Amino acid sequence: MDRTPLRDPKASAIFLKSRLVHLPYEVFACLFLDSRHRVLAFEELFRGTVDAASVYPREVVRACLAHNASAVILAHNHPSGVADPSQADVAITRALSRALELVEVRVLDHLVIGDGEPVSMAQRGLV
């Protein structure tokens, strides 16, 4: 993985969109970062159906610890192409933020990938 720091949400969005936009099923993934926001790893953690993927906070915490991440950017795609976050997306983001806070991993953003520009939940004040 490239160890260049991610300086802004646009850089993260471009990378994550390239990985997730083409998939015909929903995928929840994480971009694991060190304390200087350099990329440690990218991992698809959960795969779902055309309109949902089950996400388990315990597994996200485990993956962050396995990568020794200090921060994480969450991401998932909407195969429908509509990138607006659902209420379920907001709820899982809040649950993950609370769980990861306990192990001192910062959630920097949760990007929802669709056909157009990815939606940054941080920019919408949802993270």
Q: How does pLDDT run across 31-83, given as a tens digit for each residue?
A: 999 999 999 999 999 999 988 899 999 999 999 999 999 999 999 999 999 99
For residue 8, what pLDDT is reported?
A: 73
78-to-19, 26, 82 alpha-carbon distances in Å: 13, 6, 6
Through-space distance between the first and last CA atoms of the chain, rounded to whole angstroms:
25
pLDDT digit string, tens, across residues 78-113: 999 999 999 999 999 999 999 999 999 999 999 999
Give the global pTM.
0.93
Report the top-level CATH class of 9-120: alpha beta
Residue 88 three-state SS: helix
Torsion angle, CA of 11/65/114/22, rounded to 10 degrees? Answer: 90
For residue 9, what pLDDT is reported?
A: 75
